[in-house]
Structure 1
């Protein structure tokens, strides 16, 4: 069965999500949403406003002639929504989506029910319209919550692992819950989303793929999927992180820790942020070194060259490096002036 805007299915395993047979790491779709340009959401908002204005003619003035014009405006909305992360990977029922109002109008019994405010059909149509209208704001809310959580609770982490993420989220959960009840008298904080669950075998598209047991989850809203994928990613040890070079988010997978993404760096044609960032970090480290650290580096390199050329033994090398380190530590404690440091290191 093809997917719809408000009813689509995905398949979760312990470390991945399968969408239309393709395998993605947990957290990748959330990461892509975090990188979405604000202009995209603004554009969707604008097109939805145009569509809702046209739809009002149908429901308030019973203007049957507006059916096709309304559908055209809805199709303009679909053109943007179906290019969003996840939707562009699903096998959408495009025929129904692009002919929704004409199809409804062609069945006069269903059309009459849709216009009857007291009918179940009208309620279903109204729920669809409300969900569509709220979509851009729901994505903004998700982006705000996740980026705040990542910046304030995850970025300070010394380690990147499922256990570390769990501890950070526990603190976030406690803080948000306390703030909500203390300031606003709100109900306890929670993250739960309605879905249908079944357990099925899934076969990936990759060569040599074998069947895996997966949870098939049916969602009615994009952000419900994204929250679920984000939290399942944390459980697996995956989390989005903001690149300290270009500012875009990238997915840190289990057991991996870096501050830079692997995309082409701004102003570069080949070098990635990872390569550029590493060079800049090294350069900053050199620039921040004290005079004693600079002298120690020279002595260390000089001793290393002597060892490599066989002029001193390994034991002599170890002893000399230890003595040089003692001089560096004395300088760090303020026990030696810069001139005294230079004289002491000149002895090596």
Structure 2
């Protein structure tokens, strides 16, 4: 059977198959650390919305636990509405965004149907037990997402971003320093409801083995670690740590601000997404172009070219030269610049003299005269 099959991921349980430096979720392969990095791209507004709906459900849980039959049934409508709003927001967060939302909506249909009322009101009923576990998960998952996002963003900004190398050893040292820092844990104590779904470097999980078809060799079978998580934050923490072990870590793009996963020892500043500054380029391409422009500014050939062309434009703006002379002078300056970039001897010996302002104008006037000659 293929990797990631029969995981039965749902609102209460998440499952991940791990093989080498890859993870499998619902039969799809990702690099280790993928979900930990992707969660950091969930907008703060979405996380606040999740926590708000989760907070409403936590109050409804208390009321339902103490309510008599009539009050209990009356409270169900509001509780279901809160759950539906929560699911709408949660399905924008990975890995929930990859799961079957219809399955969860069907669960709500069954739980809140009149046919379930009697079972929900029986103290020892399995249906009642499942119902309250579902509600507890509903207000816990948003807090787990928020707590992990706060911790991982702090880790990336304060530690990972400063590393000289992005290898397992350097990641391990960064994790040790961050997660043993008094500043870090003081910050985590200040997050909303810090005791529910707290961040920890020892996530709660269960593991087993499954046997699956080798991802590349169909005739071979491999042992695969299957991990089970009853808490969302444990899923993300494990994915972060497993990724770091394999040299994978989140990094924030200097161009668009998106978090992306690095999977080698390189020190990338930019992602491969579309650059917000120019939709024709990726952030990586745009960053390379801007770096080249910055380097060009320091190049002596470009410095002189920039000085002369700025003067030509100012002379034109002040009416000292005509449109025709301006265009020809700029053409001459560009031609001399390109020649100097291609010929080091010319750049060292003849370029500065030819780029004198009056020399450029003389060459431009000569071009105009030739073009206008009958």
**Normalising to structure 1: TM-score of the pair?**
0.71
Please state if 1:106 is matched with 2:112.
Answer: no
Aligned-partner SS, 1:285:
helix
Report how far residue 171 of structure 1 moved.
2.5
Report how far residue 45 of structure 1 moved.
2.8
Report how far residue 170 of structure 1 moved.
2.7
Report how far residue 207 of structure 1 moved.
11
Q: In structure 2, what is the Cα distance between the partners aligned to 1:157 and 1:33?
A: 22
Aligned length: 297
CA contact (8 A) 1:243 1:261 kept: yes
CA contact (8 A) 2:57 2:135 kept: no
Counterpart of 2:161 (choices 141, 146, 155) is 155
Deviations 1:186-219 (A, max 9, x none): xxx9611221110112348999696543111111
Q: In structure 2, what is the Cα distance between the partners aligned to 1:91 and 1:206?
A: 27
Aligned-partner SS, 1:270:
strand
Structure 2 partner of 1:328: none
**Max radius of gyration: which structure?**
2
How large is the Cα RMSD of the aligned pairs?
A: 4.0
Counterpart of 1:71 (choices 73, 80, 84) is 80
Distance 1:245 1:202, change over 3 A: same
Aligned-partner SS, 1:139:
helix
Please state if 1:19 is matched with 2:29.
Answer: no
Aligned-partner SS, 1:260:
coil
Structure 1 partner of 2:223: 213
**Normalising to structure 2: TM-score of the pair?**
0.66
Q: How does 1:139-218 map to 2 (within 5 A)?
A: 139-176=145-182, 191-203=201-213, 211-218=221-228
Aligned-partner SS, 1:199:
strand
Unaligned 5+ segments in structure 2 are 1-5, 190-198, 305-335, 349-374
Which sits farther off after the overlay, 206-215 or 165-174?
Answer: 206-215
Structure 2 partner of 1:341: none
CA contact (8 A) 2:61 2:135 kept: no
Aligned-partner SS, 1:31:
helix
Counterpart of 1:268 (choices 238, 262, 278) is 278
Please state if 1:38 is matched with 2:38.
Answer: no
CA contact (8 A) 2:53 2:139 kept: no
Unaligned 5+ segments in structure 1 are 184-188, 312-320, 322-348
Structure 1 partner of 2:142: 136
Please state if 1:85 is matched with 2:91.
Answer: no
Q: In structure 1, what is the Cα distance between the partners aligned to 2:215 and 2:97?
A: 17
Structure 2 partner of 1:336: none
Please state if 1:229 is matched with 2:239.
Answer: yes
Q: In structure 1, what is the Cα distance between the partners aligned to 2:109 and 2:96?
A: 18
Report how far residue 256 of structure 1 moved.
3.8
Please state if 1:5 is matched with 2:11.
Answer: yes
Distance 1:214 1:86, change over 3 A: same
Structure 1 partner of 2:260: 250
Aligned-partner SS, 2:15:
strand
